[in-house]
Amino acid sequence: MFQKDLFKNKIAIITGGGSGIGYEIAQQLLEYGASVWIASRNEEKLQKAQEKLSLIGDCKYISIDIRQPQRIEEAITIIKSQSKTIDILINNAGGQFRAAAEDITNKGWDAVIHNNLNGTWYMTQAISKAFFIPQNQGKIINIIAQIHRGFPGMIHTGAARAGVDNLTKTLAVEWSKYGIQVNAIAPGVIRTSGLDTYPDEVRQYTLEQVPKKIPAKRLGTAQEITALALFLASPLASYITGETIYADGGQRLWGDFWELP
Ligand SMILES: NC(=O)c1ccc[n+]([C@@H]2O[C@H](COP(=O)([O-])OP(=O)(O)OC[C@H]3O[C@@H](n4cnc5c(N)ncnc54)[C@H](OP(=O)(O)O)[C@@H]3O)[C@@H](O)[C@H]2O)c1
């Protein structure tokens, strides 16, 4: 699809790179010549992923909980000792659970906002201050979600992702002076390991019923999100910033995603 050496000499960090969409992005960046750091909480998972990814290219892992700024700083010190630059940040880590708005506790609300909004911001600011701003260049790609019509059934993640959508625009303007491009990808329903984090009934419904409600009549794939991430991370997208690109098979425009809880 792209030139084989498109990301030669580029170094990327991918949060949530040990599974699902993040793993696929890591794999493809490696295929096209980049060096890659995969980062998340579960070290065992990261280690297994890194073993497989290292067969393709230079892949390292680092344990980071994006909710913990102190841990992010410690990780940056380790990264700096091994990588002179970071060129690409893929903010992909995240998670949520399905619940009716009236049933969400403050604890549940805070947990999702903290992870998906605050965590993304902590990573973005820390990596930018450590690498992108002093380097005068950097690419930030935020993986959010299809939030075009709100997010009935998951109000917390809808609000968090809308926050990231908005900070994508603000940073694209504020940090253009540092040569930093900031864009986002809004995936529809993508068939990944992430589905396993939901209860059986939600998983089954997603696999069997949701495809009928999407104009494309199927779920998306991690490869389809990855193609967009690589495009945005490459010089092909050098004049695109502050943009959120939907990859959802038309789901934002038509069809009830699921019955309202
Ligand atoms: N699949 C979909 O249909 C879909 C649709 C829209 C948006 N998304 C979003 O796309 C991203 C990737 O999803 P996926 O489908 O590939 O699911 P996934 O395999 O569950 O990926 C989520 C990743 O985030 C990491 N993570 C979660 N919280 C973290 C934290 N506090 N600190 C560091 N890492 C953390 C997890 O690793 P650890 O457990 O090791 O921390 C995991 O690798 C997520 O943000 C997801 O919400 C997915």
- Which tens digits make up the pLDDT trace of 6-31? 999 999 999 999 999 999 999 999 99
User: For position 255, what pLDDT does the model report?
Assistant: 86
The answer to whether residue 121 is domain-embedded is yes
Q: Which two tokens stand for residue 177?
A: 């002076």
Ligand 1 in reach of 220 Cβ (< 6 A)? no
- When mean pLDDT is compared across 17-21, 195-199, 232-236, the lowest value belongs to 195-199
Does pLDDT of 172 surpass 90?
A: yes
User: For position 75, what pLDDT does the model report?
Assistant: 98
The residue among 36 and 257 whose pLDDT is bigger is 36
How many domains does the chain contain in total?
Answer: 1
The answer to whether residue 172 is domain-embedded is yes
User: For position 240, what pLDDT does the model report?
Assistant: 98
Ligand 1 in reach of 251 Cβ (< 6 A)? no
The answer to whether residue 118 is domain-embedded is yes
Q: Which residue has the tokens 């930018």?
A: 128
Mean pLDDT of the chain: 97
The answer to whether residue 62 is domain-embedded is yes
- CATH number at 146 reads 3.40.50.720
- Provide the pLDDT confidence category of residue 259 given band limits of 50, 70 and 90: confident
- Phi first, then psi: what are they for 206, rounded to 5°? -65, -40
Question: Percent of the chain scored above 70 by pLDDT?
Answer: 99
Domain range enclosing 33: 11-247
Does pLDDT of 50 surpass 80?
A: yes
The answer to whether residue 258 is domain-embedded is no
The answer to whether residue 3 is domain-embedded is no
The answer to whether residue 261 is domain-embedded is no
Q: Which two tokens stand for residue 134?
A: 């002093």
Determine the Cα–Cα distance for residues 55 and 16; give it in Å rounded to an integer.
19
Cα 177 to ligand 1 centroid, rounded to whole Å: 31
Which atom of ligand 1 lies nearest, measured to the CA of 220?
A: 3
Protein residue whose Cα sits closest to atom 20 of ligand 1: 194
- Provide the pLDDT confidence category of residue 188 given band limits of 50, 70 and 90: very high
The answer to whether residue 256 is domain-embedded is no
Cα 92 to ligand 1 centroid, rounded to whole Å: 6
Measured in residues, the chain has a length of: 261
